[in-house]
Amino acid sequence: MNRVIIDTDIGSDIDDAMAIALALRSPELKLEGVTTVYGDARLRARMVSKMLMLSGRTGIPVLAGLDESLLRNRPVWMAGHEGDGLLEPGEELTYDSRHAVDFIIDTVMRNPGEITLIPIGPLTNIAASLIREPQVARNVKEIVLMGGVTRLGDNGADMRIVEHNISCDPEAASVVFGSGAPIVMVGLDVTLKVQITEQERQRLIQSNDPLNLKLADMMARWFAFVKEDHTFMHDPLTVSLLIDRSLVKTQKMSVQIEYDHRPKTGQTVATKADNANVEVCLDVDAERLVRLLMARLLQEDAR
């Protein structure tokens, strides 16, 4: 069983909530805690607490972390609908009063080689943990993160050169990728190959499961926001690698973050190197991932 901490900016795109739901319904994972980051970490923590309540898993610690970028020099983007479709007006939801960074450091350092960090938002909390306690890089089992874009996959010509989680805090990303910790990078090259549609949303509704009904509601709001009838499962793919690593093809590389003072900067440049510490995902079996995700959410056989 993989012991994991998910670090999330849940609330804008639906994929964070789907990823957390996948983790909650996967017996291969022991969710040691969920930490929140970026924009309004306390609101995001309340959202996670509501998801845990709906799934009957209220014993898992939820902790709010940092709202702003590491150097507080980047504008914060939020869609404006965070919490809609999940939180009720005036609903009382509590979460752990400890700080997310303290929890990450304490949990990793007390369990050397046992804890995998799964950051699926900007890397601010992870970078702050590494700055405060550099030994986290040696004691963590692995950092499996959603972020970046290498443009090395077969769809590279169509890729943008920067990705949201990295460009929100490229200084933090530089700290994490430069830490020497073992990293798996799940970038846009692979995640944009994994789509779900209105068809999957209807299946969630038909299950009549309380958590799935909320996911379907939030998905509808995201479809309306992006004016599309499909979306991409960036974060569920990232979580799924702790269930089945064979879903992706990877190559060991070194990743540098190139950035400057301007907005929307932070290119992830992957190169071959003798001291490479990053498994860069280059391709994915998208159909198999969607089958796995839906089977776990619907609590069905994945075949």
- Could you tell me which residues come within 8 angstroms of residue 122 by beta carbon, excluding any fewer than 6 positions away? 9, 37, 38, 69, 165, 166, 168, 169, 172, 173
Q: Do residues 232 and 92 make contact, with C-beta atoms less than 8 angstroms apart?
A: no
Q: Any idea which residue has 């209807």 for tokens?
A: 202
- DSSP strands (E only) in 37-98: 62-64
Quick one: tokens of 22?
A: 């996948």
The span from the CA of 302 to the CA of 8, in Å, is: 26
Three-class SS of residue 283? strand
Catalytic residue among 99, 164, 234, 261: 234
Sheet hosting strand 248-258, strand order edge to edge: 62-64, 29-36, 2-8, 115-119, 142-146, 183-186, 278-284, 248-258, 267-271
DSSP state of 300: -
Quick one: tokens of 269?
A: 């440049």
Quick one: tokens of 301?
A: 């056989």
Quick one: tokens of 1?
A: 């069983």
- DSSP strands (E only) in 147-295: 183-186, 195-197, 230-232, 248-258, 267-271, 278-284
The span from the CA of 199 to the CA of 229, in Å, is: 9
- Could you tell me which residues come within 8 angstroms of residue 188 by beta carbon, excluding any fewer than 6 positions away? 148, 149, 159, 160, 163, 234
Q: Is 164 a catalytic residue?
A: no
CA angle 293, 48, 37 (to 5 degrees): 100
Active-site residue list: 234
